[in-house]
């Protein structure tokens, strides 16, 4: 990933329809706070296509006093299973660092944004992601997993947030999947 701007990608122009902020803490081995912050959970509707653009962003990052230095290494978002995505981060908005790569899980449900060593640690903030989708509806039913690494010991720590905005599949697609499931069930019961 190299970052993009609205000028170069006019399809990312949007009207924001939700902009929730979800606080988090990542704890160490003894229950101490290693990192706190907020996940900004923005959803916009594309001016060009009318479909949704998801814009997660890690902000307000604070390392705890006397805690070892930590850095963000990955952000995982789950709930994108039946949705087309085109992913980039925006360099023309708020933030200091973007991921080096975006990956999709084998089951297509999760997106992973990977950060390089030293690129995102307190008090820096991430750029907004632009997850352009073919969805027209969303619901707060996804999860976000934030992974940090202790820069001294190399250990990884994480936290998981629930209630993250994710695309809702179109009803026709959900109905088709249900029919396929029923047919597959009938075939296996006849065997």
Kindly compute the dihedral angle of the four CA atoms of residues 59, 62, 67, 68, in this order, to the nearest 10 degrees: 50
CATH tag for 10-190 (out of 1.10.10, 3.30.70, 2.60.40, 3.40.50): 2.60.40
Note the pTM of the prediction, 2 decimals.
0.84
pLDDT for 173 beyond 80: no
First and final C-alpha spacing in the chain: 48
Q: Distance (Å, rounded) from C-alpha 41 to C-alpha 22?
A: 7
Averaged over 17-39, what is the pLDDT?
95
Ordered by start, the domain boundaries in the chain are 10-190
Q: How confident is the model at residue 176 (pLDDT cuts 50, 70, 90)?
A: very low
pLDDT averaged over every residue in the chain: 87
Whole-number percent of the chain with pLDDT over 70: 87
Name the nearest CA neighbour of 77 among 12, 172, 171, 145. Answer: 145
């Amino acid at each position: 990933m190299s970052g993009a701007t609205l000028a170069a990608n006019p399809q990312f122009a949007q009207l924001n329809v939700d902009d929730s902020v979800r606080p988090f803490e990542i704890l160490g081995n003894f229950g101490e706070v290693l990192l706190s912050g907020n996940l900004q959970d923005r959803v916009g509707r594309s001016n060009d296509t009318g479909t949704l653009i998801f814009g997660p962003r890690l902000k307000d990052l604070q390392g705890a006093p006397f805690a070892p230095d930590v850095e963000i290494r990955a952000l995982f978002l789950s709930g994108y299973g039946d949705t087309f995505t085109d992913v980039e981060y925006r360099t023309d908005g708020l933030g200091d660092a973007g991921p080096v790569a975006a990956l999709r899980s084998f089951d297509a449900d999760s997106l992973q944004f990977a950060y390089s060593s030293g690129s995102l640690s307190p008090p820096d903030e991430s750029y907004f992601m632009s997850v352009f989708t073919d969805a027209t509806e969303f619901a707060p039913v996804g999860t976000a997993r934030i992974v940090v690494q202790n820069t001294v010991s190399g250990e990884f720590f994480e936290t998981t947030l629930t209630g993250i905005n994710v695309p809702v599949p179109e009803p026709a697609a959900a109905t088709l999947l249900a029919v396929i499931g029923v047919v597959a069930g009938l075939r296996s019961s006849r065997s």
